């Protein structure tokens, strides 16, 4: 067991920062969390306007094991902290030909759907999901709860037993893997769109990420009442119960070092600049910001040239709508897919794309949280969260959720999305029924969350940016400086952020294993 610090400062009060603080405080550390915003949650934010409340970040509750394990480490349970609702259908898919497809959880339910669309596809889906489940379980045991400190953990018997499969899945794209088994574009899209959850695209994400279909089609899709704001509150409760101190509305301007070791952070608030001393610093801020803004050049493990050929993932324009009257045409989760979505991905990742003049995808996501949660909209109104993928580029502009007025391009993208929803979902008066509208763009993500290039989720999960290729969660040049969150290992998404927090604990303990910590574990 390594000698451990007594005091820790965590930069950032998003999911990863809150979870890291909670776990380290339970290790007996004095933990202080500092965030520039005045509210908790970071990218998992919340906005309320005129009786409507929207989550402004994550909206899919997947990988329940990660939540369960985190709460167990905190001495509680998911059931005690969150009220989860199973969604049926799990989601609804619309295409540009006016067809809708409801996708339900369960191997047999999904197999029947696939068979009804493409004869023979049901049996092929059962095989596909069986492999996805096997790979998911190997990943959970070996590739997520690890700091990749030793190769020995990658050569265990269960990994060797799957080595041929893993090698094949790493050597081809998710797109080619799916297309080899299914012909109908709707089925291909259902199985390959999860690449977007990984801030990537089907043609660039390794087929290993077919494991994502285990999370929605096998495990199922749930919704926490209160949205992800309730998830943030639940994680924050664990931190507060463990004695974590929060300093909000305070900008971290630098990481203090002495003799090559982190000694605290420099901050500025309404009273001016000051220093917060600490034995250890954990930055859950964007890695690019941490390295290139908070550290001097000679102490950067990941200097600016490192990011030059990295893929920042996708940007988004978010459109938050309050709509008068009910919208039975929409389910809780809705995916609107262009039948030919190649121009959509080219616009986002390889633009400019002539077929997408606004530089935005027409394959978009719509969440009607009011379908499940009665507290997010006034009576006889609906609450919609609309996500339009765009390039990770601050030049796309900003919205009006946190500013006076939105950029012209963000407004145009929002207008197009509203028109698309009305047309594809066959709601002819949809635009006229919108009573509240707020928007966010990549510039908001850069300004509020220091997101590199205004990316919405984090660096794309391509082969060269996955697992140990994604970097380390510890500085190579500053002792006592660690990283957590979506921009480091294991990756993007709320479950990965929870796991990244646990991996910081393991790094501090000197634990080189690849398994989750036992719930009763203490240093």
What are 217-263's pLDDT values in tens digits? 999 999 999 999 999 999 999 999 999 999 999 999 999 999 999 99
Q: Could you tell me which of 174, 143, 173 has the C-alpha nearest to residue 158?
A: 143
Per-residue model confidence as pLDDT tens digits over 104-115 = 999 999 999 999
Greatest C-alpha distance within the chain: 68
Tell whether the model's pLDDT for residue 325 goes beyond 60: yes
Q: Would you place residue 158 in the very low, low, confident or very high pLDDT band (cuts 50, 70, 90)?
A: confident
Judge whether 17 and 284 are in contact, CB under 8 Å. Answer: yes
Give me the residue label for tokens 């920062």.
17
Is the preceding peptide bond at 352 cis, omega within 30 degrees of 0? yes
In this structure, what is the dihedral angle of CA atoms 164, 170, 172, 178, given to the nearest 10 degrees? Answer: 80
Per-residue model confidence as pLDDT tens digits over 339-351 = 999 999 999 999 9
Mean pLDDT in residue range 471-493: 97
pTM of the model: 0.97
More confident residue, 467 or 434: 434
Mean pLDDT in residue range 139-162: 84
* Helix, strand, or coil (residue 329): coil
Other Cβ atoms within 10 Å of 492 Cβ, number = 23
Region for 393 from its dihedrals, namely left if φ exceeds 0, alpha if ψ lies in -120 to 50, beta otherwise: beta
Judge whether 504 and 484 are in contact, CB under 8 Å. Answer: yes
Cα–Cα distance, 113 to 115 (Å, whole number):
5
Beta-strand pair 222-224/245-247: unpaired
What is the pLDDT at residue 468?
Answer: 86
Judge whether 221 and 240 are in contact, CB under 8 Å. Answer: no
What is the pLDDT at residue 149?
Answer: 82
Cα–Cα distance, 446 to 443 (Å, whole number):
5
What is the pLDDT at residue 156?
Answer: 82
Residues 6+ apart with CB under 8 A from 133: 211, 214, 218
Residues 6+ apart with CB under 8 A from 282: 8, 9, 10, 11, 17, 20, 24, 481, 482, 483, 484, 504
What is the pLDDT at residue 153?
Answer: 67
Tell whether the model's pLDDT for residue 1 goes beyond 60: no
Q: Would you place residue 2 in the very low, low, confident or very high pLDDT band (cuts 50, 70, 90)?
A: low
Is the preceding peptide bond at 476 cis, omega within 30 degrees of 0? no
Q: Give CATH for domain 7-80+226-309+460-509.
A: 3.50.50.60
Tell whether the model's pLDDT for residue 523 goes beyond 80: no
Q: Would you place residue 160 in the very low, low, confident or very high pLDDT band (cuts 50, 70, 90)?
A: confident
* Helix, strand, or coil (residue 33): strand
Mean pLDDT in residue range 360-364: 98
Percent of the chain with pLDDT over 70: 99
How is 373-409 classified by DSSP, letter by letter?
-TTSS-TTEEEEEEEEEEES-GGG---SSSSSS--HH
Element (H, E) at 30: strand 30-34
Cα–Cα distance, 104 to 327 (Å, whole number):
20
Cα–Cα distance, 251 to 274 (Å, whole number):
10
What is the pLDDT at residue 4?
Answer: 73
Q: Give CATH for domain 106-219.
A: 1.10.405
Mean pLDDT in residue range 499-506: 98
* Helix, strand, or coil (residue 300): coil
Per-residue model confidence as pLDDT tens digits over 407-431 = 999 999 999 999 999 999 999 999 9
Per-residue model confidence as pLDDT tens digits over 14-56 = 999 999 999 999 999 999 999 999 999 999 999 999 999 999 9
Cα–Cα distance, 146 to 165 (Å, whole number):
21
Number of residues in the chain:
523
Helix/strand/coil percentages in the chain, nearest 5: 40, 20, 40
What is the pLDDT at residue 472?
Answer: 94
What is the pLDDT at residue 224?
Answer: 98
Burial of 248 per CB tally in 10 Å (0-12, 13-18, 19+): middle
Q: Would you place residue 101 in the very low, low, confident or very high pLDDT band (cuts 50, 70, 90)?
A: very high
What is the token pair recorded at 199?
Answer: 């801030």
What is the pLDDT at residue 522?
Answer: 58
Mean pLDDT in residue range 454-470: 95
pLDDT, mean over the chain: 96
Cα–Cα distance, 294 to 254 (Å, whole number):
4
Judge whether 386 and 54 are in contact, CB under 8 Å. Answer: no
Domain boundaries, the chain: 7-80+226-309+460-509, 106-219, 312-449
What is the token pair recorded at 490?
Answer: 């294991």
Q: Could you tell me which of 387, 133, 332 has the C-alpha nearest to residue 222?
A: 332
What is the pLDDT at residue 150?
Answer: 76
436-461: buried (b, 16+ CB within 10 Å) or exposed (e) per residue? bbbbbbbbbbbebbbbbbbbbbbbbb
């Amino acid at each position: 067991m390594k000698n451990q610090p007594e005091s820790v400062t965590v930069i950032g009060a998003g999911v990863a920062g809150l979870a890291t603080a909670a776990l380290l405080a339970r290790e007996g550390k004095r933990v202080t969390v500092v965030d520039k915003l005045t509210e908790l949650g970071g990218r998992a934010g919340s906005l309320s306007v005129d009786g409507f409340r929207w989550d402004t970040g994550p909206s899919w509750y997947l990988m329940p094991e990660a939540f369960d394990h985190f709460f167990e480490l905190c001495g509680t349970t998911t059931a005690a902290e969150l009220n989860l609702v199973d969604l049926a259908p799990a989601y609804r898919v619309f295409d540009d030909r006016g067809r809708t497809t409801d996708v339900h959880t369960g191997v047999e339910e999904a197999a029947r759907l696939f068979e009804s669309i493409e004869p023979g596809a049901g049996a092929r889906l059962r095989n596909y999901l069986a492999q996805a489940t096997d790979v998911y379980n190997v990943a959970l045991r070996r590739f997520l709860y690890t700091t990749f400190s030793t190769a020995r953990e990658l050569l265990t018997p269960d990994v060797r037993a799957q080595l041929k499969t893993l090698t094949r899945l790493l050597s081809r794209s998710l797109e080619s893997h799916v297309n080899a088994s299914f012909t109908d574009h709707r089925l291909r899209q259902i199985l390959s769109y999860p690449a977007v959850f990984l801030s990537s695209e089907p043609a660039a994400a390794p087929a290993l990420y077919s494991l994502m279909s285990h999370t929605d089609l096998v495990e199922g899709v749930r919704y926490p009442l209160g949205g992800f704001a309730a998830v943030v509150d639940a994680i924050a409760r664990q931190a507060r119960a463990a004695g974590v101190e929060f300093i909000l509305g305070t900008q971290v301007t630098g990481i203090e070092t002495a003799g090559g070791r982190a000694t605290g952070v420099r901050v500025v608030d309404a009273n001016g600049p000051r220093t917060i001393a600490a034995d250890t610093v954990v930055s859950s801020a964007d890695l690019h910001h941490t390295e290139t803004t908070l550290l001097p050049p000679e102490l950067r493990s990941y200097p600016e040239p490192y990011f030059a050929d990295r893929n920042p993932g996708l940007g988004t324009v978010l459109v938050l709508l309050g709509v008068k009257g009910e919208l039975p045409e929409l389910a809780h989760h809705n995916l609107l897919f262009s039948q030919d979505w190649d121009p959509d991905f080219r616009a986002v990742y390889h633009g400019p794309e002539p077929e997408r003049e606004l530089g935005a995808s027409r394959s978009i996501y719509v969440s009607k949280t009011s379908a499940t949660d009665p507290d997010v909209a006034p009576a006889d109104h609906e609450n919609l969260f609309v996500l339009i993928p765009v390039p990770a580029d601050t030049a796309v502009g900003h919205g009006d959720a946190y500013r006076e007025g939105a950029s012209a391009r963000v407004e145009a993208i929002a207008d197009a999305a509203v028109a698309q929803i009305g047309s594809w979902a066959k709601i002819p008066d949809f635009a006229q029924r919108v009573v509240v509208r707020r928007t966010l763009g990549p510039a908001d993500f850069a300004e509020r969350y220091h997101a590199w290039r205004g990316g919405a989720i984090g660096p794309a999960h391509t082969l060269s940016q996955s697992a140990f290729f994604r970097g380390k969660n510890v500085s190579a040049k500053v002792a006592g400086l660690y990283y957590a969150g979506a921009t480091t290992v294991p990756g993007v998404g709320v479950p990965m952020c929870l796991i990244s927090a646990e991996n910081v604990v393991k790094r501090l303990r000197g634990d080189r294993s690849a398994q989750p910590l036992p719930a009763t574990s203490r240093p």
